[in-house]
């Protein structure tokens, strides 16, 4: 009888893509394995997971808003409903193991799985543990982490340090350089800045690039710009006004391996997935952490690199003044790029997805 695994969580690409990477690794190790995803209705996993070839079921769970909101009154009812639906999903699918990657849906699903005696594994992407994972840790069988020192949040005997699972096509992007330049319509021999604000976009980064992109292009650089949904029309209007093929704006880039391959320098938020991908792609990076992430974990992720001289840090509130000058300075300075590349490469963990998948399979009774 084939092994069955439920993977739950989502809300952002930083949760979804590690989950898909674990699923893909499980499929490679155990080709006959059955995998079901559980996400939150209305969140981006409901689109991204089927696109990756997996079935997903949505729970009506939502997060609690930090500000006073009438929406919070509905939270207890949606949580109760989600717990009942999670129980029904587990009873029907009968998983051998349940995996939680963070995000709204992982809470109800892993809580019910553990109460039903199903082994559970948590994958914590950040250097500061999220509330949901801290609550689930007490009943989890194993906890896979990306950063050292996570025993501060979790029982030491359960913790395994493997790094963050990322898509395997990001390994050795250097070999795809020409393919990437051709794909995006860029010239060889010119430095390219890749700007990404995560799957949902980044206001400070987008506004800074929008104000300074003409300067970048006039300085002889190419700009590949992923804006997210909310800023794409503004970005496209700005890019079309440049009357140059040296700048391209996209709402979302699915071909991330080619985006990294084209890039000489990257501007990014400091979500756990982005940081892990930058380490694996070996890219000199300017990190602008999202300051309102829970427990300010993006700043902690960024500082983990900065302390090892593996990235440049710019505070979100300073982006308007500092981001374009910093990007121009780094693009011009090949020696600085080489130092950042050498140091960030030391932090890469290319086998993380397979290490976590192997740990999942060990839990099958």
Find out whether 167 is annotated in a ligand binding site.
Answer: yes
* Secondary structure string (H, E, C) spanning the chain: CCCEEEEECCCCHHHHHHHHHHHHHHHHHCCCCEEEEEEECCCCHHHHHHHCCCEEEEECCCCCCCCCCHHHHHHHHHHHHHHHHHHHHHHHHCCCEEEECCCCCHHHHHHHHHHCCCCEEEEECCCCCCHHHHHHCCCCCEEEECCCCHHHCCCHHHEEECCCCCCHHHCCHHHHHHHHHHHHCCCCCCCEEEEECCCCCCHHHHHHHHHHHHHHHHCCCEEEEECCHHHHHHHHHHHHHHCCCCEEEECCCCCHHHHHHHCCEEEECCCHHHHHHHHHHCCCEEECCCCCCHHHHHHHHHHHHHCCCCCEECCHHHHHHHHHHHHHHHHHCHHHHHHHHHHHHCCCCCCHHHHHHHHHHHCCC
314 in Cβ contact with 330 (< 8 Å): no
Find out whether 238 is annotated in a ligand binding site.
Answer: no
Find out whether 329 is annotated in a ligand binding site.
Answer: no
Find out whether 334 is annotated in a ligand binding site.
Answer: no
Find out whether 274 is annotated in a ligand binding site.
Answer: yes
Find out whether 14 is annotated in a ligand binding site.
Answer: yes
Find out whether 13 is annotated in a ligand binding site.
Answer: yes
Find out whether 352 is annotated in a ligand binding site.
Answer: no
Cα(69)–Cα(167) distance, integer angstroms: 37
Q: Which residues pair with 160 in a beta bridge?
A: 144
Find out whether 223 is annotated in a ligand binding site.
Answer: no
Residue 278 CB-density burial (10 A; 0-12 exposed, 13-18 middle, 19+ buried): buried
Pairing relationship of beta strands 285-287 and 312-313 according to DSSP bridges: parallel
Find out whether 272 is annotated in a ligand binding site.
Answer: yes
Cα(196)–Cα(17) distance, integer angstroms: 15
Find out whether 67 is annotated in a ligand binding site.
Answer: no
Find out whether 361 is annotated in a ligand binding site.
Answer: no
Find out whether 245 is annotated in a ligand binding site.
Answer: no
Find out whether 126 is annotated in a ligand binding site.
Answer: yes
Residues flagged as binding site: 12-14, 126, 167, 199, 253, 272-277, 298
Residues flagged as binding site for UDP-N-acetyl-alpha-D-glucosamine: 12-14, 126, 167, 199, 253, 272-277, 298
């Amino acid at each position: 009888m084939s092994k069955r695994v439920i993977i739950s969580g989502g809300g952002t690409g930083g949760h979804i893509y590690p989950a898909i990477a674990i699923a893909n690794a499980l499929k490679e190790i155990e080709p006959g394995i059955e995998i079901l995803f559980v996400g939150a209705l209305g969140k981006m996993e409901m689109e991204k997971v089927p696109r990756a070839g997996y079935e997903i079921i949505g729970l009506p769970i939502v997060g609690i808003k930090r500000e006073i909101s009438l929406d919070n009154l509905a939270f207890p009812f949606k949580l109760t409903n989600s717990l009942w639906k999670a129980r029904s999903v587990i009873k029907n699918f009968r998983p051998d193991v349940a995996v939680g990657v963070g995000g709204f849906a992982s809470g109800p699903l892993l809580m019910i799985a553990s109460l039903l005696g199903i082994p559970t594994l948590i994958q914590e992407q950040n250097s500061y543990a999220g509330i949901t994972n801290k609550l689930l840790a007490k009943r989890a069988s194993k906890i896979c982490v990306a950063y050292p020192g996570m025993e501060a949040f979790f029982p030491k005997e359960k913790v395994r340090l493997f790094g963050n699972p990322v898509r395997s096509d990001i390994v050795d992007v250097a070999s795809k350089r020409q393919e990437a330049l051709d794909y995006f319509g860029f010239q060889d021999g010119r430095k390219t800045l890749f700007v990404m604000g995560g799957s949902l976009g980044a206001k400070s980064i987008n506004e800074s690039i929008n104000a300074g992109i003409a300067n970048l292009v006039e300085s002889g650089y190419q700009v590949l710009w992923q804006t997210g949904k909310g800023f794409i029309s503004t970005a496209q209007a700005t890019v079309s006004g440049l009357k140059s093929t040296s700048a391209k704006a996209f709402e979302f880039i699915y071909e991330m391996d080619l985006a990294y391959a084209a890039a000489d320098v990257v501007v990014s938020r400091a979500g756990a997935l982005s940081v892990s991908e930058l380490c694996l792609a070996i890219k000199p990076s300017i990190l602008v952490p999202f300051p309102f992430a829970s427990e300010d974990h993006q700043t902690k992720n960024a500082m983990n690199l900065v302390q090892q001289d593996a990235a440049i840090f710019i505070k979100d509130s300073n982006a308007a003044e500092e981001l374009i000058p910093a990007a121009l300075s780094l693009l011009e300075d090949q020696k600085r790029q080489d130092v950042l590349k050498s140091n960030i490469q030391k932090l890469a963990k290319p086998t993380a997805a397979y290490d976590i998948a192997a740990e999942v399979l060990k839990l099958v009774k």
